[in-house]
Amino acid sequence: MTSEPPIVVIAGLRKRFGTFEVLQGIDFEIRRGEVVCILGPSGSGKTTLLRCINHLETIDGGLLEVDGEFIGYRRQGERLHELSPKEVARQRSKMGMVFQRFNLFPHMTALENVCIGPIVVRGEPASEVRARARELLVRVGLEDRLGAYPAQLSGGQQQRVAIARALALDPMLMLFDEPTSALDTELVGEVLSVMRELAESGMTMIVVTHEVAFARDVADRIIFMDGGLIVEQGTPQEVLMAPREARTQEFLAHVPGA
């Protein structure tokens, strides 16, 4: 991590679905190169938080900045105005997101899935993009599966293609939403291995996960959420080994490997 200004600034973030407030005032900052893992029970607001960061969900209050830009909106006086889809797409291109379900295009090969973003979003030359996409697929261990379609790949292989696709736009921030939750147990390790390599390379990462051992080994900081609030945050040693809050203690007591 560096002494540069935070790459992500979130202050007083609120999100409602109808009358239900999913996020009730979230505050944290992330610096370049930091790996933050978010733990918490289902329904605690973890996925909604990630979706707000890249404006897949609009926010109902607070501040959310990435790389100094207010995400999804521009401020005019005291009012906020939502950005155009084109402007939002430009902002999103700074962030790679890997979902629970792989969201690959079924009619495209692994190589084509990785190429699509830079070509469509940024209009980059196809020949340059294909060369970079090949390198990324090699990086995630799929050099022999470039021409395979998603249906011909295991779940772990599909998720590694999804990671390569997210990296193809050269993002400054990677968002992972329970990236191993849809995988069979024996496939989890191959995806976590790629994520460990990314963390070691200095990539800034926010990871919503139930993989406590991964969070313990890789995270610089762990955030525990419940009921739309940050209950506790700190180093893995602080949160996992000596949690201060009773709710954190209760949660970890029921998590295998915690």
Mean pLDDT, the chain, rounded, equals: 93
Question: Could you tell me the pLDDT band of residue 48, with boundaries at 50, 70 and 90?
Answer: very high
Percent of the chain past pLDDT 90, that is, above it, reads 82
pLDDT, mean of residues 59-66: 93
For the chain, how far is it from start to end, CA to CA, in angstroms?
A: 26
CB–CB of 159/99 below 8 Å?
A: no
Smallest Cα–Cα separation from 210: which of 50, 30, 34, 41?
A: 41
Say yes or no to pLDDT of 1 above 80: no
pLDDT, mean of residues 221-234: 97
pLDDT score recorded for residue 123:
87
Q: Return the higher-pLDDT residue of 29 and 121.
A: 29
The 3-state secondary structure of the chain reads CCCCCCCEEEEEEEEEECCEEEEEEEEEEECCCCEEEEECCCCCCHHHHHHHHCCCCCCCEEEEEECCEECCEEEECCEEEECCHHHHHHHHCCEEEECCCCCCCCCCCHHHHHHHHHHHHHCCCHHHHHHHHHHHHHHCCCCCCCCCCHHHCCHHHHHHHHHHHHHCCCCCEEEEECCCCCCCHHHHHHHHHHHHHHHHCCCEEEEECCCHHHHHHHCCEEEEEECCEEEEEECHHHHHHCCCCHHHHHHHHCCCCC
CB–CB of 2/31 below 8 Å?
A: yes
The region, left, alpha or beta by phi > 0 then psi within -120 to 50, assigned to residue 12 is left
CB–CB of 131/119 below 8 Å?
A: no
Say yes or no to pLDDT of 227 above 80: yes
pLDDT, mean of residues 187-214: 94
pLDDT, mean of residues 171-190: 91
Instruction: Give pLDDT tens digits for 108-125.
Output: 999 999 999 999 888 899
Say yes or no to pLDDT of 78 above 80: no
Beta-bridge mates of residue 230? 225
Specify the range with the lowest mean pLDDT, choosing from 42-51, 71-80, 125-134: 71-80
Distance CA 241, CA 243 (A): 6
pLDDT score recorded for residue 75:
81
Question: Could you tell me the pLDDT band of residue 254, with boundaries at 50, 70 and 90?
Answer: confident
Instruction: Give pLDDT tens digits for 128-144.
Output: 999 999 999 999 999 99
- The one-letter code for the residue type at 179 is P
Question: Could you tell me the pLDDT band of residue 257, with boundaries at 50, 70 and 90?
Answer: low
pLDDT, mean of residues 143-164: 95
Smallest Cα–Cα separation from 182: which of 155, 203, 161?
A: 155
Other Cβ atoms closer than 10 A to 37: 26
